[in-house]
Amino acid sequence: MKYASFTAADGSATWGVIEEGRAFDLGPSGAGLAPSLRAAVEQGLFGAVTAGQYQAAPARPEDGIGFLPAITDPGKIICIGVNYRTHQEESGKTGQTAPTVFTRFADTQMGHRAPAVMPASTTKFDYEGEMALVIGREAWHVAEEEAWDYIAGYGAYNDFSVRDWQKAASQWIPGKNFPSTGAFGPYLVPAADLGGVNRLTLETRVNGETRQKASVADLYFPIPQLIAYVTGFTRLSPGDVIVTGTPGGVGLFWGEGGLLADGDVVEVEITGLGTLANTVERER
């Protein structure tokens, strides 16, 4: 089953189930099951909504809704850098002994079909197709062998990056936190519905051209190790997000014309999670 956050008919934020081209409103403007998708995760509703519950809710065509970030208000967004060998090799960052971790702020996110805003202060705007996971319960000092039990669901992510700001110093946070540069969605799929994620394929396309393609099984630090590492230094709560890393093929290393320009359409497609699409819009 696919869940999403989106705008209601009155423009307010809501969430619900997407099925057969229809968006069923389970939020405050609809069935009122929970105020947000994050709250649904907290309350144990995510992945447990029955057909009777969502089919009785108000529905609109999926094509007519405005998608919001799958989790609009995560308490924490933890991003993992250079976590595929192909990206390590192209960037010269091989031989890692621990994950590279940085943070993204919740208010920098946007949804499927929303513009990816290239800041006026850069000419080095880039894409990073990734898979994100959402934490389902309080997590602190989680053992690797128990890590899968803490995941509520998965979605596609595009960690758009402002490379000159990112590389100006050793800390990456400035280049990863401009407004409307963290695309998340269109859907959040329950972990139980998806099964093993190592069989999934991630593909990033720019104007229809494949730039990145990798199996999730190629993660250098696999998901259980990431959860164990992150919860070794910070508590995670339901609705918190871990963005697991991007494969080789980012625009910075693609060659001439690899970086993004105004009007480019970037798609991140992951098996079973749908296709996240955003058009680059230069800041005016």
Domain boundary among 13, 43, 64: 64
Domain presence at residue 7: yes
Q: In the listed set 16, 34, 64, which residue is the last one of a domain according to the structure?
A: 64
Same domain, 36 and 128: no
Residue 72 lies in a domain: no
Q: Is the predicted pLDDT of residue 93 greater than 90, yes or no?
A: no
- Among 64, 87, 114, the domain boundary falls at 64
Band (pLDDT 50/70/90 cuts) for residue 92 is confident
The model's pTM is: 0.97
SS3 labels along 197-215? HHHCEEEEEECCEEEEEEE
Q: Are 135 and 237 in contact (CB under 8 A)?
A: yes
Torsion angles phi and psi, residue 238, rounded to 5? -55, 130
18 and 86 both lie in a single domain? no
Quote the number of domains for the chain: 2
Shared domain check, 273 and 155: yes
Residue 95's pLDDT is: 87
Say if residue 269's pLDDT is above 90.
Answer: yes
Q: Are residues 230 and 270 in the same domain?
A: yes
- Higher-pLDDT residue of 245 and 91 is 245
Do residues 169 and 253 both lie within one domain? yes
What per-residue confidence (pLDDT) applies to 256?
Answer: 80
pLDDT over threshold 90, residue 15: yes
> What are the tens digits of pLDDT across the range 31-64?
999 999 999 999 999 999 999 999 999 999 999 9
Residue 152 lies in a domain: yes
Residue 205: the pLDDT is 98
Rounded CA gap, 186 and 166, in Å? Answer: 26
17 and 44 together in one domain:
yes
Q: What is the CATH number of the domain that holds 104?
A: 3.90.850.10
User: Are residues 186 and 266 both part of a single domain?
Assistant: yes
Q: Is residue 181 part of a domain?
A: yes
Sequence-ordered list of residues with C-beta below 8 angstroms from that of 190, at least 6 positions apart, any chain: 1, 3, 46, 47, 152, 153
pLDDT exceeds 90 at position 157: yes
What is the token pair recorded at 238? 């339901």
Instruction: Indicate whether 166 and 278 sit together in one domain.
Output: yes
pLDDT interval class at 153 (50, 70, 90)? very high
Same domain? 205 vs 102: yes
CA atoms of 96 and 229, how far apart (whole Å): 14
- The rounded mean pLDDT for the chain is 97
User: Is residue 71 one of the residues assigned to a domain?
Assistant: no
**How many helices and strands (H and E) does the chain possess?**
6, 18
- Does residue 211 sit in the same domain as residue 149? yes
**151 and 35, same structural domain?**
no
Residue pLDDT, tens place only, 169-199: 989 999 999 999 999 999 999 999 998 999 9
What's the domain range around 9? 2-64
